[in-house]
Amino acid sequence: MKCTINRRAQFSASHRYWLPECSEAENLTRFGACTRFPGHGHNYVLFVSMLGDLDEYGMVLNLSDVKHTIKREITSQLDFSYLNEAWEEFQQTLPTTENIARVIWQRLAPHLPLVRIQLFEHPELWADYYGDDMEAYLTVSTHFSAAHRLARPDLSFEENSEIYGKCARPNGHGHNYHLEVTIKGSIDPRTGMIADLVGFQSAIDTFVVEPFDHTFLNKDIAYFENVVPTAENIAIHIRDLLQAPIQQIGAQLYKVKLIESPNNSCEVYCTEPQESRRSLHQQVPTLVQV
């Protein structure tokens, strides 16, 4: 029986986005405040996912061995380091979140049966890497607050209440929505980025957060005049709003996840997720070891 196990690790390190072949103005245009000397730091959180068969002891791998491998190959070398100089790979390609994830994969792959490296630069920015050469995924998390009412105009209040329950009450109700937007693309061999991060965050703010925040969705967003603003429909509309702006920054919109409350969330894909990854996460039991 196949099973995926995940091991968590962490390290603190600093980095700077700066290309010596570019002028100061060019670096500022590309990287903004991340160009400031002598760099800035993060508390990185790393998840290493591995796939294998259960052995006679009920384990895929001995987690103590996994822990020591990650420490030896990764965290002992990166913790309290200046990433630009820590490894040779980061002198060729900047240590962005997505590129760090890629290089960690390369360094662990000879030792562990990897299926994913997930690296959090901070809770609102993380990268996923699956071993696909230079392809990676980058996720930005943000939030907005809005009210809505779930009711179809062609149905009576009683009929809407039968379908939507309390959510059909005439004056609506509100949520603090959490939004995760994931893009995919090829890591640039020099900048280490799959897209302009400033442009990525700006697209989300411009097309979603600013127009949606502190609104009554049914009345303030034209799209929802004729579409019930369920979490599913909101996520689909956000996907449609972001497709073109994300393409303009050179990446592909991959997934939109909307968390309406701690109990309710939905996600929509902008391209079909690879079947192997979908089946991996939907059919294989997972063990998280902290």
Q: Would you please indicate which residues are annotated as catalytic (active-site) residues?
A: 167, 214, 260
Per-residue DSSP letter, 190: T
How many Å apart are CA 239 and CA 181, to the nearest integer?
A: 9
Cα–Cα dist 11/81, whole Å: 9
HSE of 80, CA atoms in CB hemisphere, 13 A? 1
Residue in 214, 210, 208, 216 with CA at minimum distance from that of residue 235: 208
Cis peptide before 110 (omega within 30 of 0): no
As a whole number of angstroms, the distance between CA 2 and CA 60 comes to 8
- Counted residue by residue, the chain has a size of 290
Backbone phi and psi for residue 244, each to the nearest 5 degrees, phi listed first: -65, -45
Q: Distance between CA atoms of 170 and 151, rounded to whole angstroms?
A: 9
Residue 103 φ then ψ, to 5°: -70, -35
Cα 36 from Cα 264, distance rounded (Å): 40
Closest CA to 119 of 75, 149, 162: 75
